[in-house]
Structure 1
Amino acid sequence: MSPGPRLPRRTLLKASAALALPWLLGRCGLPENEEGLRLDPDGILDLPEGFRYRILERRGDRMSDGFRVPGQPDGMGCFAGPPGSNTLVLMRNHELEPGQDSLSPYTQDQGRPAQAYRPADNSPGGVSRVVVDATSFERVSSNLVLVGSSRNCAGGASPWGWLTCEESVTEGHGYVFLCDPLADSLQDAVRIPALGKMNHEAAVVDPTSFIAYLTEDRSDGCFYRFVPESPGERLGLESRGRLQALRIEAEPRRDMNAGVEPGATFRADWVDLPRPGAEDDSLRAQGAARGAALFRRGEGLFFHEGSVYFCATTGGPESGGQIWRYTPEGLQGGMLQLLAQSRDRGVLDMPDNLCVAPWGDVVMAEDGADPRWPDEHLRILTPSGQVKNLARNAMGGGELAGVCLSPDGRALFVNMQGDGMTLVITGPFQQYTGTGL
């Protein structure tokens, strides 16, 4: 098998030095072409030599509870299964909204279940659960956990389970929901109004401070946090606390898209939102009025070793994406740093979901919209500043999403959204990136 089409020989994405990991300032090595990715004879996913994938589920497959696997799989998280079970649990979002009945979890003989959120809306969005063997990574079972929400895009881990986010602000929607990874049947929706109504993308909780961080998929969005009144208390309908937006101390209302180079570091603090429960999609305007920083389409979000990593999907000089990291220093504020940004959409095309490996690699899933570069990839940014191709969608360039690693780092799970598939990738990840050797 031969490698696929070549990418331009340019060094146009830069990575920076970071505060806790040995990132390198200046230029980093870039994937000059598709060398190292082998063409998949089945035309699904191209991978490096020594790597392989398995399809866990496809949309329309019958799940263990009788529902169908919904379409448009998006954000996803990996959790340990029940004690003693030797299983892992994937919590999988489905970015569906009213009118997409053909991709819904319902068969022709199934009506709307009693547990559906806002059943009159007829939204097929929600969360499904896939159980896999922790040794072989083979599928064990699957079931629906949440249904009736709308445009469940990304999410994140919390000490109490999976936080799934609605990328919608229609009536009754625009919230974060908590889903139990151990729920083997459909559950009632657990909505968390304290995390605000907005065009949510992702949410994650610092397991030490119990502060929740949130991204907003808007071209003039903010980066948010929720500081609970009672740290450690399970998030839910009655949660109380302060919803805040990040501000650059020295430059209120700083546009983080303009004039920022990798390695740039900013001291940041947080401003309270005066109407955190607003139903009018005004949170970012409230933040801006109080000096909050502006990010271009905040999306993927991941907590790793005391820091929060997130994407600004259309940030940077070519709107090709930025990777940021926020490291708290006490309760009042912390340091924000630009780790990398794209200067050529052919090198990095709008990173969306991301995760950080135990050894420090950042895995980025592309969701590009540039017709000059239709193929979507998984890219790896290593702590040494190297960027490598990990995979390419060989089915026509649809979005890759939901990247998450097993706790031991032996398997990477990913969704092919438009193609409606959930896959597991195995292989010598650390040897491939040269990390930790």
Structure 2
Amino acid sequence: MDRRTLLRATAAGGAAFAGSLWAGAALAAPAQPGPGPYGELLAADGNGLQLPSGFTSRVVGRSGQRVAGTSYPWHWAPDGGACFPTGDGWIYVSNSEVPVVGGASAVRFRADGSVADAYRILGGTNVNCAGGPTPWGTWLSCEEVPLGRVYETWPDGSRAAEERTRMGRFTHEAAACDPQRRVVYLTEDEGDGCFYRFVPDTWGDLRTGKVQVLCAPTDQVTGPVTWQDLPDRDGFPVPTRHQVGAAKHFDGGEGCWYDRGTCWFTTKGDNRVWAYDAVGQRLDLAYDDSLVPAGAAPLTGVDNITGTRGGDLYVAEDGGNMEINVITRAGVVTPFLRLLGHAGSEITGPAFSPDGSRLYFSSQRGTSGSATGSGGITYEVTGPFRP
């Protein structure tokens, strides 16, 4: 039995996503291709973006060039990002996935969407890839290097960033906060990486706590899971992913997004979107390109992920054909946008404005494909996103 047949049989025997956003839709299998809620993509606009009818785009920043209306040069290799409300608008935060200087920057928008300011909120760190927002309004910026660290930053620049090494030292990718269980989920970008959660001693204070790793049989793609404490969060000399024999390993952990009882995370090595049901403590597949008819998978190179208040997921591609795909709450996966002329790049940092009307993301290396990320471009898409 080949991998595709085996996975189909396994998924068919799995339950619907109990406790997830899709439970009401009675979805009993991973998402499949189908017509999307916004219709077909139109011809590319002036920014090289193919969008559905009613949507428009603009460029917010270009690496090495000043953000319009400010004196701040946008960082190279823009990666993971998130939006934060302010009293008179919102802030979009973006990591910089470059060595040594790394860090993160922010763009402040006024209520009408115009740019008010841009500035750095973290510097002198190493290969800041993804991360995640916290319920108390900070941004967790994660280093994607062995023994990488998590930094807690303040999007408005009001406070210097602080290192959160108690959250574990490993090749960090993304983070997602679960306020109900008061934990932070963490992905690891290794071919045999793990899925972790940090349990702080006090919710809202990430300075102390314990790190746990998800445990399940090696070949399990759906079913119950457990958590075990990590013996040595510092990961030296034994890497964290090799410390617990029962830990389940994932092929290149990437994006992570939590909403109403479910933590969704992606793995790029096998093009999967996983759904961890935090209420029932079970793991399921939300999407797997091996479970789509051969040659028909719209979503490949899965990477960063975000979601809407209504329950749709938006998954960015690292490679593929440079799309952001939407996985609807009805379990349909379909392209939402496509970026032309960026074959040597990846799409990063998808995040919605607080009111859900604008989607931000970046092409990390732009049209140049430069490995340094000097050609990075950050975009905004505005339109009739459904509630």
SS of the equivalent of 1:294 reads coil
Look up the match of 2:225: 268
Alignment size in residue pairs: 355
Give the Å deviation of 1:233.
4.1
Look up the match of 2:384: 428
Report if aligned partners of 1:163, 1:204 keep a CA contact under 8 Å in 2.
no
After TM superposition, list the pairs within 5 Å mapping 1:15-414 onto structure 2.
Answer: 17-19=16-18, 20=20, 21=22, 22=25, 24-26=27-29, 29-30=32-33, 36-42=40-46, 44-62=48-66, 66-81=71-86, 83=87, 85=88, 87-97=89-99, 123-134=100-111, 136-160=112-136, 161-169=138-146, 174-183=148-157, 188-229=160-201, 231-235=202-206, 239-248=207-216, 251=217, 254-256=218-220, 260=221, 264=222, 266-280=223-237, 282-287=239-244, 289=245, 291-315=246-270, 321-329=271-279, 334-343=281-290, 347-368=298-319, 375-397=321-343, 398-414=345-361
Give the Å deviation of 1:67.
4.3
Structure 1: tracts of 5 or more residues without a match: 1-11, 98-122, 316-320, 431-435
Report if aligned partners of 2:47, 2:57 keep a CA contact under 8 Å in 1.
no
Alignment partners' CA distance in 2, 1:428 and 1:359: 13
What are the Cα deviations for residues 70-124 of structure 1, in whole angstroms up to 9, with x where unaligned? 111000011111x3x2x11111101001xxxxxxxxxxxxxxxxxxxxxxxxx22
Distance 1:28 1:208, change over 3 A: closer
Alignment partners' CA distance in 1, 2:122 and 2:55: 33
Alignment partners' CA distance in 1, 2:16 and 2:54: 31
Report if aligned partners of 1:31, 1:347 keep a CA contact under 8 Å in 2.
no
Distance 1:29 1:328, change over 3 A: closer
Give the Å deviation of 1:416.
1.2
Alignment partners' CA distance in 1, 2:152 and 2:182: 14
What are the Cα deviations for residues 144-173 of structure 1, in whole angstroms up to 9, with x where unaligned? 11111111101001134000100012xxx6
Look up the match of 1:109: none
Distance 1:29 1:211, change over 3 A: closer
Report if aligned partners of 1:137, 1:424 keep a CA contact under 8 Å in 2.
no
Give the Å deviation of 1:38.
1.4
SS of the equivalent of 1:178 reads strand
How high is the TM-score relative to the length of structure 2? 0.85
SS of the equivalent of 1:48 reads coil
Alignment partners' CA distance in 2, 1:26 and 1:199: 31
Structure number, greater radius of gyration: 1
- Letter of the structure 2 residue corresponding to residue 279 of structure 1: F
- Letter of the structure 2 residue corresponding to residue 415 of structure 1: S
SS of the equivalent of 1:194 reads helix
Give the Å deviation of 1:421.
1.3
Look up the match of 1:117: none
Look up the match of 2:371: none
Identity across the alignment (%) = 32
RMSD: 2.5
Look up the match of 2:5: none
SS of the equivalent of 2:124 reads strand
Q: Which moved more, 1:203-212 or 1:15-24?
A: 15-24
Structure 2: tracts of 5 or more residues without a match: 1-7, 367-375
How high is the TM-score relative to the length of structure 1? 0.76
